[in-house]
Amino acid sequence: MSVYAESSAVLSWLLDEGTAAEIRRLLAAADFIITSDLTLIECDRVLLRAVAVGELTEAEGADRRAHLVMAASHWHVLRIAPEIVDRARQSFPGEPIRSLDAIHLASALIARSAMAGLGLLSLDDRVRRAGVRLGLSVLPI
């Protein structure tokens, strides 16, 4: 199984939310994980914010960032390249789609063009609905 890991799913794992065990299981079961620069940016920003507002200690934030860096070192990270920008600027099924979601969806579509059967790992309802309409397999089921 190959997956595109969108920010909401990765954050669930990093923040140990209710769905974290399922996300961990799906990531561990994946043969190939693709994500975007955007996922790493969004995850880092959420961790920095959590430390800044006192939801995490500095040490907890650093530990979670280290987990992300370690995991991402085994993932294929798509750069936000011109082809992704061009696709993100176009319409998606289920508009309105937010800008950052459009970048994730465009990234997943570009990745799918190189890897048949790619699943979209996301917990964001808008991204999931658009992904289904784009013909992506959406995880978790």
pLDDT for 91 equals 96
Question: Is pLDDT above 90 for 27?
Answer: yes
Helices 125-133 and 99-114: crossing angle, nearest 10°? Answer: 40
The answer, yes or no, to whether residue 105 has pLDDT greater than 90, is yes
- Adjacent-strand bridge partners of 4: 34, 120
Q: What is the pLDDT of residue 134?
A: 96
pLDDT per residue as tens digits for the range 39-87: 999 999 999 999 999 999 999 999 999 999 999 999 999 999 999 999 9
**Domain count across the chain:** 1
pLDDT beyond 90 at 141: no
Distance set, CA 18 to CA 26, 64, 68, 98 (Å): 14, 16, 18, 25
Is 64 within 8 Å of 56 (Cβ atoms)? yes
Taking only the tens place, the pLDDT of each residue in 115-133 is 989 999 999 999 999 999 9
Q: Model's pTM, two decimal places?
A: 0.94
* Mean pLDDT along residues 16-44: 96
Give the chain's mean pLDDT. Answer: 97
Q: In the chain, pLDDT over 90 holds for what percent of residues?
A: 98
What CATH number should be reported for the domain holding residue 17? 3.40.50.1010
- 125 is in which domain, residue-wise? 2-139
